[in-house]
Structure 1
Amino acid sequence: MRTICLPPTGVSQPIFPWICWCLWTSRNKLIFENKVLSASEVLSLSITSAREWWLAQPTAMKAPRQPNLIIPTLNAEVNCVSVFTDAAWRASDGATGCGWIFKDSTRQSTQHGSKCFDNTASALTGEALAICLVLSHALSLGYTRVCVFSDCQVLVRAICSKSSPVELYGLVCDIELLSSLFDYCTLSFISRSLNLEADLLAKSALYNAALTT
């Protein structure tokens, strides 16, 4: 079941950018027109603006390509960069460490990295953040064909079946949008034993973050 925003209905994309925009314009109204908008008015205006923009877009933009769920395997398409990602979550403070590795068609590592996030709601949210992070990073590097691998089967199935939990709705929308910007993009589940390098990077990021706090 796909979760949608309640009235006004029909908004199927993240509205966060519109909230930021309406907060900015409401600030200008306060400064230049001495007009005060309540929080509920700003939120309602954000949703309305998002819906109007969405309805005005061409049909092609309303149906971004979805990541494809493929068989759990390490076989990737020719000329496709393989991206292995994982996340480690600490329940005590909600910190999440994300790790990733980029590999070429010969399975040689071309790049790896990690990042830590604070106040993450759950381990599943952390895994979704990790996928968002690597997709954004791949785009910044100029890759157009990527095969993303994650050992979080629950998340992979939720994304590809369009039945994500409410807590992940915004992140899943971001993943769908980012994936649509590639010429080719797949998301696959792999076993943890095949994702040990990304797992180690994620745990190291989480551990190092604890040392600096």
Structure 2
Amino acid sequence: MGVAPLPSSTTSRHAPPWLLATLGPLVAVAAVLLLPVIADASCASSGGSDQQTIRSAPTAFIGTVTGLSNGDRVATVRVDDVWRGGGIPSSVEVVGTPDLNAAATSVDRTFAAGTQYLFVPNGGGPAHFTDNSCTATQPYSANLSGLRPADAPGTPPPPTGAPTQAGSTFPLVLVVAGVVVVLVAAVGAIAAGLRVKPSA
């Protein structure tokens, strides 16, 4: 009586090709759907409103992005209006990532050149701040103006040594005055030459 051959261990360990072809796309789709969830999970929600956040924040200011670097994660900012905080200069740097050496992190914030933001940084100062996508920092719009504290410091002073308005126009006044003097002298010389009659 013959003995039936045992199934090959090689064939029993391999999944059917159709199963692999089906699982591959499903795994890819799942990864794409889960990545935003993982990134959002990195932010611990405080549950407070923007107004409460700004009132409790040590620093808040309106500023316009004038320069970008490090994949738009580092912004040079012209400070337009200080809402909270002291000693903030007219130009600051805001770093929107916890790790500048990493290609990216789950809480990176990127900025857009020329855009005005309400900055609510989570650290640093007075001229170098840290920020990320979990803070209340956001593009500024008129509907946020009601959040401005009544005792806001306002516009920061100009940089030390910056020319004042009178000082910046003073050299121009000298140039214009010099041109006028030269023109008057030239006209006078031409008029005097015309009055001189040639001798007989």
The answer to whether TM tops 0.5 is: no
Structure with greater helix percent? 1
Q: TM-score, normalised by structure 2?
A: 0.27
Using CA pairs under 8 Å that are at least 6 residues apart, name the structure with larger relative contact order, 1 or 2: 1
